[in-house]
């Protein structure tokens, strides 16, 4: 989701004035990146596809409020984050993240593969029990290793607030895992 140089400012200005061709060009340029950002948050490919469409509907609907002096990337990421947050908030905890939430994440080798699967399942459940605000911050910073500044821009909060949310999320995760018999 990057702005280019010369022609992009004209395209962004045209988009702001409601030009459908400019919107379609922005959609083609940024669709994949928006989908990837949403997928990082919701961890559900089907939902990420739907939320990508929802995000671009919101972007199109808000075209007059876009400031071409700002980065389109940050603006789109913020709208995508809000769409993902709304989706997470509306879901029951058991329905948002698949059990293989951490399947693609490296884990220390375990002597018993069953223990590793159990730890992954319990960790995913602990993440599920976090509030959407804490979960988004923790997933993006801890799991996806995104920079605090990028996450702050996407959430519309300060870097300090992101750090506080991650700290609170990790504290709650530790407590939840300890209650499940896992020492983090």
Question: For residue 93, what pLDDT band results from cuts at 50, 70 and 90?
Answer: low
Domain spanning 96-179: CATH 1.10.10.10: yes
Q: 82-103 in b/e burial notation, b at 16+ Cβ within 10 A?
A: bbbbebbeebeeeebbeeebbe
- Report the C-alpha gap between 168 and 164 in whole angstroms: 6
Q: 10-21 in b/e burial notation, b at 16+ Cβ within 10 A?
A: ebbebbbeeeee
Amino acid 138: pLDDT? 93
- Report the C-alpha gap between 62 and 90 in whole angstroms: 23
Residue 141's nearest CA partner among 155, 129, 124 is 155
CB 161 within 8 A of CB 148: no
- The DSSP letter of residue 181 is T
Residue 154 in this model has a pLDDT that exceeds 50: yes
Domain boundaries, the chain: 6-90, 96-179
CB 40 within 8 A of CB 139: yes
The CATH class of 6-90 is: mainly alpha
Tens digit of pLDDT for each residue in 17-41? 999 999 999 999 999 999 999 999 9
- Higher model confidence: residue 101 or residue 59? 59
For 101-158, where are the alpha helices, taking DSSP H only?
A: 113-129, 132-138, 148-155
Query: Once rounded to an integer, what is the mean pLDDT over residues 144-169?
Result: 94
Tokens of 7: 């022609």
Residue 108 in this model has a pLDDT that exceeds 60: no
């Amino acid at each position: 989701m990057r702005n280019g140089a010369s022609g992009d400012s004209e395209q962004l200005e045209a988009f702001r004035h409601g030009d459908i061709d400019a919107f379609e060009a922005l959609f083609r340029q940024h669709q994949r990146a928006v989908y990837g950002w949403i997928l990082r948050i919701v961890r559900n490919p089907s939902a990420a596809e739907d939320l990508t469409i929802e995000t671009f509907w919101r972007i199109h609907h808000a075209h007059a409020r876009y400031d071409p002096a700002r980065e389109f990337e940050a603006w789109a990421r913020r709208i995508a984050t809000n769409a993902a947050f709304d989706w997470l908030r509306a879901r029951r905890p058991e329905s948002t993240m698949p059990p293989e939430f951490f399947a693609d994440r490296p884990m220390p080798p375990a002597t018993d593969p069953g223990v590793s699967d159990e730890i992954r399942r319990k960790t995913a459940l602990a993440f599920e029990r976090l509030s959407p605000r804490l979960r988004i911050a923790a997933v993006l910073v801890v799991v996806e290793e995104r920079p605090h500044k990028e996450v702050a821009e996407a959430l519309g909060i300060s870097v300090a607030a992101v750090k506080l949310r991650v700290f609170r999320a990790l504290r709650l995760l530790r407590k939840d895992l300890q209650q499940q018999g896992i020492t983090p």
